[in-house]
Amino acid sequence: MSKQQTYFQVQQQYQKLVINQGAEVPAVTELLLGITGWTPIELLRQQRNIMPTSQQEKLKKAIQKYLAGWPVQYLLGKAAFFGHEFSVDPAVLIPRPETEELVEWILADFPQNESLKAVDVGTGSGAIGISLKLVRPSWQLTLTDLSGAALQIAQKNAQQLLAEVVTIEGDLLQPLLGKYDLIISNPPYIAENERPLMDRSVLEHEPAMALFAAENGLKIYRRLAKQLAAKLTDNGRLYVEIGFQQAAAVKKIFHQQLPTAKITVKKDITGKDRMIRVCLKSDK
């Protein structure tokens, strides 16, 4: 690539390359913004200026990795979620926009900033728990994960976003002491036989332990259901994300363990069943 090329020329060249490879064109701009540290408006203002060779080399390497299947978020080391920027690496899942709807549902159910004890189980990057803490600062938020590497990322995000949370390494609800008003989780729920349906970039780079679950994707829900009564307060609630075809099966699992609980399924913005709320008291 010529050293004397403008930002506009470089961007155009890589956009053509990405189109020819059948990849997503906006990735070029995302990577360019990440490398320069600019906003989209700043990039627009710099379009006719010469792009330094060092930046061209960084962008070239990033584009090559992207075309080889690396997610843009891992290449940049960050992902947007609920209005904040979270650090991410292959130790944690990249936060998805649909998970923001789970956060919105919880906040809508608890509009007042009352003091509640809450835990984000299998927190990964900490996106759910930290986002809740930033909106409801009086909540006591705990983040747990089986992966120590994931917890390090969650701790980093909590520090960067000035969220006062507690982190605990451990398996599901087992390491928790006492009872909680809210238990929240986006657990692994993809069945192993669904691997052929998934994007290559997800399979090759995101942590399998955060994606796949045995028993046709339902194992973690069964384990949570068995542990739940001992860890929720009398008025406590569980909120979980589910696969869009799992609502009936997951409801059945919780009903079997908690016959008197009130279980609600919520659709996402696309009309798919994607979230479940379990209230220990059926009148809630």
Going by the annotation, the residues of the binding site for substrate are 186-189
Q: How far apart are CA 81 and CA 86, in angstroms?
A: 7
Q: What is the 3-state secondary structure (H, E, C) of 128-193?
A: HHHHHHHHCCCCEEEEEECCHHHHHHHHHHHHHCCCCCEEEECCCCCCCCCCEEEEEECCCCECHH
Token pair in block for residue 215 = 């028993």
Binding residues: 122-126, 145, 186-189
Token pair in block for residue 62 = 């990033």
Q: How far is CA 163 from the centre of its chain?
A: 17
Cβ(66)–Cβ(15) below 8 Å: no
Binding residues for S-adenosyl-L-methionine: 122-126, 145, 186
Q: How far apart are CA 267 and CA 284, in angstroms?
A: 19
Q: How far apart are CA 36 and CA 42, in angstroms?
A: 10
